Amino acid sequence: MITPQTIIRHELIGLRAEVKQAKNKAAIGIRGVITDETQNTLEVEGKKVFKAGSEFQVELPNKVKVLVAGDNLKMRPWERIKKRRNG
């Protein structure tokens, strides 16, 4: 189960998110469903946002909203998820 404490070790694709802070000021306010993720970016409603220097408000399946620093997500998604299983 995804909780605010474990969100960075879970799959983010399919969750709703809003960009709260970003180096690229044009990205602030982008919101919608996360549709793709790479090592360096999250794609929210077709717009790529760099993780580094950004903050995302992510809505968990139970409707709880969590603020996540993009710097904490800055790795390949499968490596981040694998950490959950390996410690």
CATH of residue 61: 2.30.30.210
pTM of the predicted protein model: 0.88
pLDDT tens for residues 42-53? 999 999 999 999
Residues in CB range of 58: below 8 A, 6 or more apart? 7, 12, 15, 16, 17, 34, 65, 66, 67, 68
Q: Where are the alpha helices (DSSP H) in the chain?
A: 77-86
Structural domain boundaries enclosing 48: 7-79
**H-helix or E-strand spanning residue 26:** none
Tell me how many domains the chain contains.
1
35 in any annotated domain: yes
Ranges in the chain, pLDDT < 70? 83-87
24 in any annotated domain: yes
